[in-house]
Every structure is written in C-alpha cells, then in structure tokens.
Structure 1
Amino acid sequence: MNGLSLSELCCLFCCPPCPGKIAAKLAFLPPEPTYSLIADETGSKYTLHLNERAEWQYTQKELEKIEVFMTRTDKGKRIACMFVRCSPNARFTLLFSHGNAVDLGQMSSFYIGLGSRINCNVFSYDYSGYGYSTGKPSEKNLYSDIDAAWQTLRTRYGISPENIILYGQSIGTVPTIDLASRYEVGAVILHSPLMSGMRVAFPDTKRTWFFDAFPSIDKVPRVTSPVLVIHGTDDEVIDFSHGLAIYDRCPRAVDPLWVEGAGHNDVELYGQYLERLKRFVSVELVN
C-alpha cells in the first residue's frame, strides 16, 4: 500500500483529479504584479517600471543593465522576459525559472546580486498569468512558456546551448526538467525540486498516477547535462526527500548541496549556497 487512506484511495479512483486541478491547488499563486512594462511609440521597445512591492535594492545604474520585452508562446500567450547583463565577460547565461508567488519585479534585485557574484548573465521570464504575462497559469502553459523563453534566448541573443545553464527553483524546476529532458545544455541547477504534484500532496505516494501533475521524477533520467541539486534539509513546503530522489535519478549529477537546517525560502541566505554555485560554474563546468 502506498500510505493513502481508504477514503483518499476511493476518492482518487472514483473521481481522480485532473492534472490541472492538482497543479492549480499545489502550485500557482501569482502575486499582485510588482512591475509594469512601458512600451515606446513603436510598441516594440519596453522600459521596466518597478513599484515599491518589488523592493529594488540597487541604483539606476544597475537598473540600466536590465532589458525587458515580450515574446509569444506557441499557445498564443505573451510572456514578459528579462535579460540581466551582470557581467561583461560572462561565459554562461542562467535561464532562470523562478519559484511560486513571485514575479520578475521581485526577482530583479536577486538576479543582479546572483549574476554578479557567480559571473553569469541572467535571462528570466514570467509564467502565463504572472506579472505582465498574459493567460492563466497551468502545467501545459509552464512547458510552452519555457520553450518560448529558450527559443528567444537562443535567437535574440545568439547564445549557444553549451553556454546556457537552466536554473529552476521550486515550481520552476518543473519546466526546467522538462526542457532539460529534451535539449542538452551547459548544465542544470535544481533548487528545491519536487518529484511530482501527488507526491507533494500525498507524501507516501510511491508511483506516478495517470492524473498526476508535474511528473519530474519520470523525466529527470532523460537529462543528459550535468545537474546540481540544492535542497534545504528542513524544507516545509517540498520535503527534503524530493531533492534526494531527484538527485538519485540524475544520470550526471554532481555533488549536491544539502543545506542543513534550511527551509524552502531561505537557502540563499546560507554562505555555502553561493560558494557551491561559484565552484560549479567556474571550476566544475570549466574543467
């Protein structure tokens, strides 16, 4: 038995939830937008305007390092994209899929700080229904959103796959693993990954049901790039066991970072977080 109660089992088999409902229940909490994109007269060039909820920590000089624009997904949604030029001599660009309940405005200060410290540029995007992106958040849209971001990064900036590091945090590990299972890239970073939606909702679930959402555990064995897994041992949202299981299934996993005592939202505050990323990017990937 997989640890589900009789009533839960009856509910699952008599009226199994569709993946979209699992996804919506578990995952999507778009915040009130913390930014807007102001178009020029041509409608093609945008200026980023952050409101006070974005909690911007830098000066106008750093703000000028950020380029913003809209791109279209294959599902017809328009998603907001952000390219942060953190370092003039960066070899790698992070394609960053952020966590839940944040948008590009809130993440902008973090991207500047992270990229400048580990010598990477950062490209990010808002999921459908987040920030300035149109549509509604859904599992299918997550996959088409990252596809659009990937194609845009490749064509608009001419960055080759071996110089792209896919970075997914929390719910962002879902589209990251999906993309990495289909394309070979420079590397993949999975920060607080989840095995699947059902395994978050019902921790004793031992297999992937046909109605499960976000089945990352079944896709990660197809990831051929080097993978760094990061997880807090006291994660109260996505249990540490998810990080361990994902790590075990990665064909080319490097030494993981298990942050003792860290929860879901504070891993970045520990000194070993930046140290491990620096070593991965500037030593392990280069050698």
Structure 2
Amino acid sequence: MPKKSEMNGLSFSDICCLFCCPPFPSRIAAKLAFLPPDPTYSFIPDEAGTKFTLKLSDRAEWQYSQKELDNFEVFYTRTTRGNRIAGMYVHCSPNARHTVLFSHGNAVDLGQMSSFYLGLGSRINCNIFSYDYSGYGISSDKPCEKNLYSDIDAAWHLLRTKYNVSPENIILYGQSIGTVPTVDLASRYEVGAVILHSPLTSGMRVAFPNTKRTWFFDAFPSIEKIHKVTSPVLVIHGTEDEVIEFSHGLAIYERCPRPVEPLWVEGAGHNDVELYGQYLERLKHLISVELVN
C-alpha cells in the first residue's frame, strides 16, 4: 500500500471514500487541489463604483513601493457560470509586444502574486494579465473543476475584447493547478505560446502515480487534451518535485504536437523553480528569440 505521504496526506480510508463512494471529479478536485488562502488584498471602488484600486494587506508581502502599484489595473468580470472573479492587468513595460495570461498555483491569490508578476513582467518584457479562481481571493463562489474552465474563459474574453490583445500576442502561462485551465483553453484557441510550469497529467495520476489510463471519473485530465494544443508549448518542471512528480511534466511534453526545448531544472522542487537562473533565461529566450523567429 502506498505511504500516506505519497497521497498528499490522505489515509487509505480517505482514498477509498474519495474514489469509491462515488468518485466524482469535483470531490477529487476538492480533496487534492484547492487550498485558497484568506484574501491578501481588496479592491477599493471609486465614487462611481465603476473603477477600483488595489489594496494589499501585509500578508501579500509587497516588495516594491506604493508608486509601483500604479502599474496595476484591477477589475471584476463575470463568468458563464455566474461567478464574479477578480483580475488584474499589470503594465510592466510600455514596449511589450506580448501579454502573459497567467493562471497561478495553489494556496496563493492575486495579492501574494503581485510582486512576482511585476518582477517577472519587467524582466521578460511582457505585461501580465491574471485572475483569481472562483473561491480564491475576492472571487465569488467555490473552487471546482468546472469553475476553473469558466474562470479562464472569462479572463480570456476580457483580454481579447476590453484590452484588444490579439491571440498571437498572448502567452498562456499555467503553474501547477493553473496548468489545468491553461491546457483546456489552449486546446480550443491558438496563441503565441503556452508555458506549462509543473503541470499535472490528471488528478488520479497525482494521487496514484502508477495509474496508466484516464478513468471516466478522473479530474483535471490534461493528458487527454494536450494533443489538441496547436501552439508552441514550453514545459518547465523541477526534477525533484515533491508535489507533482517530474514524470508528469515529461509525459505532457512527450504528447505536445509543437513542443519547444523544455526546461528540466535539476534538483528543483515544486515551489522553487523560479529561484534558479535558467528559469528567467529560458523565458527570455522564448520571448525574444523563438517567438520572434
């Protein structure tokens, strides 16, 4: 029997209940994936209640001055499932050709990601457009797999219509659980490029690493969608990832119709890939060389 630690802290009875009584995808998703933190930010409306400014709490650990917050344009938008989700457009570079539609990882919200977005966009010469999943930050409702897909759809359509960014100038970036909606969207729209950072193949394969097929009740089946992605795909994964095994990134890469040179970060885990020098260098090369040529 697998060790408890290999199943994200679930006991054998938990696993039996999760997958057998009955194994609905929403239950797999809720048990294995979603850990929304208490909100680390708020939106302050103007007198008309139509525009908002971003206010960060101390827990957001903002690393810049108040002046840099002027680069953040924040908003709400509605999904097709009726949820109101929060989002932000980070104006990092006036000369940026590309905008990154960033779907963040688990256990963080937009407030905690704000410093990272500004720093990343400034270094790779891209603007950053991001959103909080339903149930994260100040977005309404609760997180579930179906909401993930409608959340990114709402973000995509706002980026296309309100900000008039062409698909060829959009880079979809998903990290960890964020690779799930990213792959889904990329399977339906062609864009400039797709970046999958620590992707998972499916929920069952995370819980049971020896799973070889996709069951009808599996959640997050990105492995069954990746062959539909026609855009160039960069896969990034740490070889010592303790949350989503390196084999997931390798499997996704091998099924990509248009993969570019992947980034396997030797010795990196799930949450420290960005600390390695080759991370930024690989992104810069993708954007300034590969997407230009």
Q: Answer whether TM exceeds 0.5 for this pair.
A: yes
CA RMSD of superposed structures (Å): 1.6
Out of 222, 247, 259, the residue aligned to residue 216 of structure 1 is: 222
Name which of structure 1's ranges 257-266 and 34-43 shifts more when overlaid on structure 2. Answer: 34-43
Paired residue type of 2:122: S
Distance in 1 (alpha carbons) for counterparts of 2:16 and 2:140: 37
Equivalent residues of 2:19, 2:28 under 8 A apart: no
**2:143 paired residue among 114, 130, 137:** 137
Q: CA deviation at 1:8?
A: 10
Q: Does the aligned pair in 2 maintain the 1:16–1:211 contact within 8 Å?
A: no
Between the aligned partners of 1:180 and 1:15, the Cα distance in structure 2 is 33
Q: How far does residue 16 in structure 1 lie from its aligned partner after superposition?
A: 3.8
2:152 to 146, 150, 157: 146
Question: 1:262 corresponds to which letter in structure 2?
Answer: A
Q: Does 1:240 align with 2:249?
A: no
Aligned-partner residue type, residue 102 of structure 1? V
Pairing partner for 1:189 from 187, 195, 198: 195
Paired residue for 1:174?
180
Alignment partner, residue 291 of structure 2 = 285
Asked if 1:77 corresponds to 2:86, the answer is no
Asked if residue 255 in structure 1 is aligned to residue 255 in structure 2, the reply is no
Alpha carbons of structure 1 residues 164 and 19: separation in structure 2 relative to 1, 3 Å: same
Aligned to 1:66: 72
Match in the other structure for 1:30: 36
User: Could you say if the C-alpha distance between residues 19 and 152 of structure 1 is closer, same or farther in structure 2, counting changes exceeding 3 Å?
Assistant: same
After superposition, give the CA deviation of every residue in 1:104-147 in whole Å (9 maximum; x if it has no partner): 00000000000000000000000000001001000000000000
Cα distance, 1:236–1:10 mapped onto 2, change above 3 Å: closer
Say whether the 8 Å CA contact 1:184–1:223 is kept in structure 2.
yes
Distance in 1 (alpha carbons) for counterparts of 2:13 and 2:37:
34
Total equivalences in the alignment: 282
Q: Provide structure 2 residue ranges, at least 5 long, that are not aligned to the other structure.
A: 1-11
Residue type of the alignment partner of 1:246: I
How far apart, in 1, do the equivalents of 2:13 and 2:151 lie? 36
1:15 Cα offset (Å): 3.4
Partner of 1:91: 97
**Matching residue of 1:105:** 111
Q: Tell me the SS of whatever aligns to 1:47.
A: strand
2:131 to 95, 108, 125: 125
Cα distance change of structure 1 residues 14 and 269 upon mapping to structure 2, 3 Å threshold: closer
- Counterparts of 2:67 and 2:13, CA distance in 1: 58
Q: Percent identity?
A: 81
Q: TM-score when scaled to structure 1? A: 0.96
Question: Hey, which bits of structure 1, 4+ residues long, moved more than 3 A?
Answer: 6-16
TM-score (norm 2): 0.94
Q: 1:194-213 maps to which residues of 2 (within 5 A)?
A: 194-213=200-219
Task: Give SS of 2:225's match.
Answer: helix
Supply the distance in 1 between the matched residues of 2:62 and 2:228 (Cα, whole angstroms).
Answer: 38
**1:10, distance to aligned residue in structure 2 (A):** 8.1
Tell me the secondary structure at the aligned position of residue 174 of structure 1.
Answer: helix
TM-superposed CA distance for 1:213, in Å, is 0.2
Give the secondary-structure state (helix, strand or coil) at the position aligned to 1:276.
Answer: helix
Does residue 268 of structure 1 match 2:270? no
Q: Cα offset for 1:261?
A: 0.2
- CA separation in 1, counterparts of 2:44 and 2:207? 40
